[in-house]
Amino acid sequence: MDIRWKAFPLHPDTPEGGLSLEALYSGMNRDPREVKARQRRVADELGLPLGDRTMTYNSRLATELGKWAESRGRGDQFHDAVFRAYYVDGINIAKPGELIAMAKTAGLPEGEAAEILKTRSFSKAVDADWALAARLGISSIPTFVLDGWSVVGAQPYEILEKFLLDHGVSRRT
């Protein structure tokens, strides 16, 4: 089985400079302290690193560069670098210079990353992913889809394992 990343339009109207979490959640009638506390609980349960970020940033360029990284066989490494930069270190992932540094961390050539960002050559691939998410009714991340069924949200390993086994995916030996 092949796992494929798909881009999702998470707060696509966020300006390049970002928004405070207070500003983001005020429009959703949600308390940012409660959201952060829940994220902390889930991260701790799953053993995921999580910093104390106060801002949200536009992820469009990061998803475009992620598509390029995948085409170069370094998608997992790039996605991990972006996750850590955003969720652990609070780095603005809308800034091309930051993204180029993440590409380098993932073992990708900086010059090529800069060119991909300049030409936006993976823009249509991201647009196609966004359209697919809309067709499937996906409204949250992460969402795992297999054979028309889905699991939504960060879930314990056992839930994802059961989901895969219930849909005929064999265990690796």
pLDDT digits over 2-57, tens only? Answer: 677 888 888 899 998 999 998 888 878 888 888 889 889 988 988 889 999 999 99
Q: Which helix (H) or strand (E) holds 24?
A: helix 21-26
Q: Contact at 8 Å (CB) between 94 and 16?
A: yes
**Better-predicted residue by pLDDT, 144 or 111:** 111
Angle, CA of 14, 17 and 18, to the nearest 5°: 45
pLDDT digits over 71-114, tens only? Answer: 999 999 999 999 999 999 999 999 999 999 999 999 999 999 99
Distant-in-sequence, close-in-space partners of 64: CB < 8 Å, separation ≥ 6? 7, 116, 117, 120, 122, 123, 125, 126
Which tokens is 108 given?
């990708």
This prediction has a pTM of 0.85
Q: Contact at 8 Å (CB) between 12 and 61?
A: no
